[in-house]
Amino acid sequence: MERENEPDNLDINDYHRLRYLGDNVNEILQSVLENIRAGIGLFEVGESIRALYLNDAYFQCIGYSKEDYDKEIQDVLSTLLPEDAAGFLACISENASKGRPIYYIIRGYRKNGEIGWFEVKGEPLENHIGKNPIYLTVISDITVEKESEAQVRELKQINDELTLQQERYKILEATAMGLLFEYYPEKDTMVFSYNLPGNKKRREVRNYSEHMKNSPFVHSSHQKMFCEALQEACKGEVDKNLEYLSSISGGGYRWHRTHYKSILDNEGKVISVIGRIQDIHEEYMEKEKLNYRAETDGLTGLYRKEAAFEKMREYMVEAPKEVYYFSLVDLDHFKQINDLHGHQYGDRILQQTSQALSAGFGESAVIGRFGGDEFIILTRGLSEEEVRQILLKVREQCSFCFGTVKTGSEDPLMEVFEEADKRMYHQKALRKEEN
C-alpha cells in the first residue's frame, strides 16, 4: 500500500514529483533547459540588465552566436532599439521592486542588422548570491507574427482608402456639375474643384480657418453659421445641407446651397469634409416670395398674426439682452367707418395705418396685423418714451388707442399681449371720459 505524500499521490504539476530524478536533478534540468526550443534567460536587474544564464535556443532566437554575444552579456539592453530598451528597463525595474512577473514585447537588432520582435515573459526569483533582483525569462521570436500583422494592417489601410475613394466618387457623381470642395481638418486646407464644361480648375486654400475671417466668400451675417457647420462636420459623421449668401464674381451676393458630408476612417476619425456648392438664388427667391405671401397680410403687407408672433420670438432670440417693448394698437371707431363709408374706404385706412407704423418704426420693430383693426408691434433698442412718441406721431394721421408693455425673450408673448390689451382698453376708457 502506497504511503501518503509519495510522488504518485501528488498533482502531476507538483514540483515534488522531481524527487524521481534523485540527486542529479540539477544536471537533468540543465539538459532540459538546453533542449527547450524557447529562449531561456536568467537576468540580474540593476542600472542595466545583466545576463546570468542563457540557453542555446536564446541565441538562435535573437540571431547571435555565443561568441558574438559575449560582449553584450553585461548589458543586454545594448542590442535593443533605444526606445524599447528604456521602456523594458522601466517595466522590469518597477515590477522587480514589487516582486511581480513581467510581460513585454520588444524589438532588437540581430547580428545581421535586421530588426526582430520578441515576446518576454519573466518570473522573479530570490537571488542567493547578490542583492539585485533576478528574473527567469522565456523569450520567443514573434517577428513573423508581427510582420503578418503589419501586412494585414497595410492591406486594411489600402482597402479603407479604396472605400473612402469610392465614397468620394459617389458624392462627386451625384454633383455632376458645379463647384466641388474637400476640406482636410488636420492640414486646415480647402480644395475647390470646378466640374463644369470647359472649366476643370482646381484651387487650394491653406490655413482656411484664418482665410475665412478675411474673405468675403460668405456674407458676414452668415459667416458664423457657415464656420460652425464646418466645425461640426470635422468632429463627427454629418450629411447635411446649408443655405447661405455667397459672393459672386463681379460683385454682390447670391443664395447658394452646400451639400456636405464627413468622410471617416475605419476608427471613426474625420479625415475630410467633401461636398458641392450650388447656386440656388432663383429657387430661393421664389420660395421666399411664396413664404412672404403665406406669412403676410395681403391688404397691409404686414405679417399675419401667427407669423408676426413667430418673427417676434426669433427677433428676441437674436439679441436676448436688448430692451424690448410690445405694443397693441386698436383703431378708433373702425366699425362705424366701414358702415358709413364702405369697406374700400376702411381698407385704405388700414393701409395708411400700416404704412405710417412701418415708416415710424423702420428697422427697429417687427410689426404685424393681429386681425381686423388691431396691430401688434415689438420694438428693440428703443425706450418706452421713444415708442410712445412714435405712436403719438403716427396717431396724428389716423386715430387709435394703444397699450405698451416692457418684455423680454423669456416672457410668453400671449401673456404680454393680454397685458398690452388691458392697457389699451384703459386708454380707450380715459379718452371716452375726456370726450
The whole-number pLDDT of residue 390 equals: 96
Least confident segment among 95-99, 177-181, 366-370, 376-380: 177-181
Average pLDDT for the chain: 85
Residue that wins the pLDDT comparison between 296 and 196: 296
Mean pLDDT of the region 259-264 = 91
DSSP bridge pairs for 116: 108
Longest CA span, the chain: 134
The answer on 274 and 207 residing in a single domain is yes
Asked if pLDDT for residue 404 goes beyond 90, the answer is yes
Q: Is residue 401 part of a domain?
A: yes
Percent of all residues in the chain with a pLDDT value above 90, rounded to a whole number: 41
Q: Are 311 and 368 in contact (CB under 8 A)?
A: yes
The whole-number pLDDT of residue 250 equals: 73
The whole-number pLDDT of residue 1 equals: 43
Q: What is the pLDDT of residues 100-109, one digit of tens each?
A: 999 999 999 8
Q: What are the backbone angles phi and psi of residue 270, rounded to the nearest 5°?
A: -75, 120
Mean pLDDT of the region 212-226 = 84
The whole-number pLDDT of residue 2 equals: 46
The whole-number pLDDT of residue 433 equals: 79
Q: Is residue 85 part of a domain?
A: yes
Residue that wins the pLDDT comparison between 421 and 126: 421
Write down the pTM of the prediction: 0.43
The whole-number pLDDT of residue 216 equals: 74
The whole-number pLDDT of residue 25 equals: 56
Domain final residue, candidates 90, 110, 141:
141
Angle (CA) 86-89-136 rounded to 5° is: 145
Q: Is residue 8 part of a domain?
A: no
Mean pLDDT of the region 384-407 = 95
The answer on 278 and 207 residing in a single domain is yes
Domain final residue, candidates 229, 260, 284:
284
Range of the domain at 117: 36-141
The answer on 344 and 276 residing in a single domain is no
The answer on 429 and 306 residing in a single domain is yes
Measure the N-to-C terminal CA separation of the chain; round to a whole number of Å: 133
Across 150-154, 272-276, 384-388, 428-432, the highest mean pLDDT is recorded for 384-388
Q: What is the pLDDT of residues 307-348, one digit of tens each?
A: 999 999 989 988 888 989 999 999 999 989 988 998 899 999
The answer on 325 and 262 residing in a single domain is no
31, HSE (Cβ side, Cα atoms, 13 Å): 6
Least confident segment among 171-180, 203-212, 306-315, 416-425: 171-180
How far CA 368 is from CA of 192, 199, 310, 323, 388, in Å, comes to 44, 48, 11, 19, 18
The answer on 114 and 81 residing in a single domain is yes
Q: Which of 45, 186, 26, 215 is nearest to 125 (CA)?
A: 45
Least confident segment among 154-163, 243-252, 357-366: 154-163
Per the structure, the count of domains in the chain is 3
Q: Is residue 174 part of a domain?
A: yes
- The DSSP call for residue 373 is T
The answer on 174 and 106 residing in a single domain is no
Residue type, position 62, single letter? I
The whole-number pLDDT of residue 22 equals: 62
The answer on 423 and 305 residing in a single domain is yes
The answer on 251 and 357 residing in a single domain is no
Domain final residue, candidates 255, 284, 313:
284
Q: What is the pLDDT of residues 45-96, one digit of tens each?
A: 988 898 888 888 888 888 888 888 888 888 899 889 999 999 999 999 999 9
Q: Is residue 212 part of a domain?
A: yes
Q: Is residue 12 part of a domain?
A: no
The answer on 308 and 180 residing in a single domain is no
Helix (H) or strand (E) holding 26: helix 25-35
Q: Is residue 124 part of a domain?
A: yes
Mean pLDDT of the region 357-365 = 94
Neighbouring C-beta atoms of residue 93, cutoff 10 Å: 15
Q: Is residue 3 part of a domain?
A: no
We report the CATH number of the domain holding residue 62 as 3.30.450.20
We report the CATH number of the domain holding residue 338 as 3.30.70.270
The answer on 326 and 248 residing in a single domain is no
Q: Which three cell numbers stand for residue 205?
A: 486654400
How far CA 304 is from CA of 57, 204, 289, 294, 411, in Å, comes to 91, 48, 15, 8, 21
The answer on 385 and 408 residing in a single domain is yes
Q: What is the pLDDT of residues 186-208, one digit of tens each?
A: 999 999 887 666 666 788 999 99
The whole-number pLDDT of residue 107 equals: 93
The whole-number pLDDT of residue 3 equals: 47
Q: Which three cell numbers stand for residue 363?
A: 428697422
